[in-house]
Amino acid sequence: MKLENVLGILYELRNCDRDQFFDLGTMILSGRKDKVVKKYIRLVEHIVLGFYNTTPDLLKTNSKVKEIVEVRFIIWYFLKKYYYWITTIEIGIYYNKSHSNICQGRSRVVEWMETNKVFKNKVEKIENEISLIK
């Protein structure tokens, strides 16, 4: 791993909790960030899917069904909010989407929260769950 990559990761560690710190430290030593990224993506997926009636398999499809798109976008929103060291490119690779799709999805969640109180309440409930395990 190049020195600038290690320094970039260390910079991102400044606000991590203890578990994330050790996961990322292990990642640096082993050169396997992808395993750590998948661990946290699956963790957020599991929590968000608990609020919806869908499966993880559907999230990686190109489905435009509102509920699936909503779930996808909420997951991306929380991944960047709580696990900011995971890049939008890495999220995109996991979900077979582009960096711009990830950015747009996160923006949509913010827009929907401003205009739809029911959606905002649902996102806040999910956030309460995620903040417990963060």
Question: What pLDDT sits at residue 30?
Answer: 67
Enter the pTM of the model.
Answer: 0.79
Q: Does residue 14 lie within any of the structural domains?
A: no
Assigned token pair, 75? 């997951």
Q: Which domain holds residue 52?
A: 33-133
Assigned token pair, 17? 């909790």
**Residue 66 to residue 68: CA distance in whole angstroms:** 6
Could you state, in chain order, the average pLDDT of each consecutive group of 10 residues for the chain (134 residues)?
57 63 67 78 92 87 90 96 88 92 96 96 94 75
Residue written as token pair 């999230």: 59
Question: What pLDDT sits at residue 17?
Answer: 65
- 120 Cβ neighbours under 8 A, 6+ residues apart: 112, 113, 114
The amino acid that residue 110 corresponds to is: V
Q: Does residue 62 lie within any of the structural domains?
A: yes
Q: Does residue 70 lie within any of the structural domains?
A: yes
Q: Does residue 122 lie within any of the structural domains?
A: yes
> What CATH number should be reported for the domain holding residue 124?
1.10.1750.10
Q: Does residue 80 lie within any of the structural domains?
A: yes
Alpha carbon separation from 15 to 27, 76, 83 (Å, rounded): 17, 19, 10
Question: What pLDDT sits at residue 15?
Answer: 61
Q: Does residue 48 lie within any of the structural domains?
A: yes
Q: Does residue 44 lie within any of the structural domains?
A: yes
Residue 30: how many CA atoms within 13 Å on its side-chain side? 11
Q: Does residue 38 lie within any of the structural domains?
A: yes
Question: What pLDDT sits at residue 55?
Answer: 87
Total residue count of the chain as it appears in this document: 134
